[in-house]
Homo-oligomer: A and B are copies of this chain.
Amino acid sequence: MRAAAVLVVGSELVTGVRLDTNSTEVTAALLAAGFAPDEVVARPDDEAAIAETVRRLVDTHDLVVVTGGLGPTHDDVTREAVSRALGLPLVPDPRLAERLTQVARRHRDPEAAAQVVRQADVLEGARVLEPATGTAPGQVVSGPWGHVVLLPGPPHEMRPMLESFLGTVRVGVAPRFVRCVGISESDVQVTAQRLLDAYAGIGFTVLASPALVDAVLFDAGAGGEVLDRAAAEIASALAEDCYSTDGSTLAETVIALARDARCSVAVAESCTGGLLGGALTEVPGASDVFCGGIVSYADDVKTSVLGVPPGTLQDHGAVSAETAAAMAEGVRERLGADLAVAVTGIAGPGGGTPSKPVGTVWFAVADADESSATLRHLFGDRDGIRTRAVVTALDLLRREIGGRAR
C-alpha cells in the first residue's frame, strides 16, 4: 500500500479553538481507496510552517493531502506555501480567473475583490478540482514522486473534491471493515485472528473507539474476493456483536433495520440530554422511521410529560429499571411509535452516590406488549459516559429490531 499523509492548515486547529474533523474524513477515505495513511499534521496559517511541513511530507509519502488555507482572506497562504515547498510557480488559470472576476464584482472593496481573484492561481502543471459550492478550487500536482492535493477547509467543499480526486487514483483493494459493538477489543482480536490463521495474504488490525470496535482486513496479496470471504466468516463468528461489514455506522444500521422492519422509533432521554436523537438524525432520511423524542431532564417532566408514576420515582429513584421502563413506555405511547428506548443515568461529575455511582445508567426498550430494562456501569468522564450511553442505546435498538426480523 502506498504511504499517505494529511496536513490540515489553520491557526484554530493548533490552538484548541476548533476540532479537526477533516483529517478523520480524509484518512478514512484514503484507507478505503487503498492508501496507507500514517501521519496527520496540523499547522497554523503561516507560510513558512506550511512549506516546511509539505517539504518533509512529500519526501516521505506517495500522497500528501492538504486541507484549508485556500480561501480569499489574508490568512489563506496554502497556495503560496506549497508553491515555495515544491518550487512550482503560481499561474492564474484562465477559466477560473474569468469566473472569479465575475464573483469579485460583487465586492465593493477593491482589496477584497483582488483577494477573491487570487483564488484562480494554480501551481504550474496542476489539475484543477472544480468547486461544487463555494469559490475556492482544489488542485492536484502529480510527479514521479507522487501527488500533492490541495483541498478547501470547509468540509462540504472539501468532500466532493476529495471523492473526485480519489476516483482517479484508487489503488489496490480497499480494506474490509467488520464493525462491532457490545464486545471487547481483545475478544474481537482473538476471534478474528483465529479465523485469519487459515488465510494467507491478509493484513489485520483492530481499531477501537468508545464502545465500538472495528476489525480491519487489508489486502496483502489475497485479493478482494478472499478478503470478502474472510470478512464474512469473521462477521458470522461475531454473530450479533457485528453490526456492519459495508462501512455503515451504528446509527445508519439502526435506521436501515427499522426501515426494513417498518418499525417506527421514539426515544426518551435523561442524562444524554438529546444526543441519542441527535445521533439517529445524523442519518439523512431518518424521518422515515424516527418519530422524535422527549428529553426529560427534570424529574417533574418525567412525570408530567412522559407519565412516569410519581410513586415509581419516589420508590426507585430517577435512575432505576422501573423509571427507565416507564419512560420508554411513556414516550412510545405519546409519540405513537412501534418501539422506544429510554436512557436515564448519572453522567457526573456530581450526582453519584455509593449505591449509584457516576456511570450508572439504566436503559429500557418498550414495544406495545412489554418492556425490558438493562443496567450498565459506563466509564469515562461526563462526555465519555454520555457517548457510551448513546452507543449502548443504539445497540439495544439494533438488537431488538434485528431480533424481530429473524
Contacts and interface: CB of A to CB of B under 8 A. Distances in A.
A94 interface: no
Contact of A274 (B28, B277, B300): B277
Contacts of A38: 14, 43-44, 46, 49
B291 A298 contact: yes
B12 A16 contact: no
Interface string A182-194: 0000100000000
A370 interface: no
Given A281-B273, A282-B383, A383-B155, A25 B16 contact: yes
A280 interface: yes
A208 interface: yes
A293 interface: yes
A286 B381 CA distance: 16
A285 interface: yes
B304 A281 contact: no
A388 to B, nearest CB: 12
Interface residues of A, number: 85
A128 interface: no
A392 interface: no
B301 A286 contact: no
A350 B291 contact: no
Main secondary structure of the interface of A (DSSP, over half): mixed
A271 B295 CA distance: 15
Contact of A27 (B15, B216, B274): B15
Contacts of A290: 273, 297-298
Interface in A135-164: 154-156, 159
A209 interface: yes
Number of identical monomers bound together in the oligomeric complex:
2
A319 to B, nearest CB: 13
B41 A208 contact: no
Nearest to A273: B281
Interface string A265-286: 0010101111111101110111
B19 A37 contact: no
Contacts of A159: 381
Nearest to A265: B297
Contacts of A43: 38-39
Interface in A6-31: 11-21, 23-31
Contact of A18 (B209, B269, B383): B209
Contacts of A156: 380-381, 384
A336 interface: yes
A342 to B, nearest CB: 13
A294 interface: yes
Contact of A11 (B20, B186, B207, B272): B207
Given A17-B28, A301-B336, 5 more contacts: A14-B39, A18-B207, A273-B274, A278-B278, A293-B295
Report the 4 A-B pairs with minimum CB-CB distance, sorted nearest first: A16-B28, A274-B277, A273-B281, A274-B274
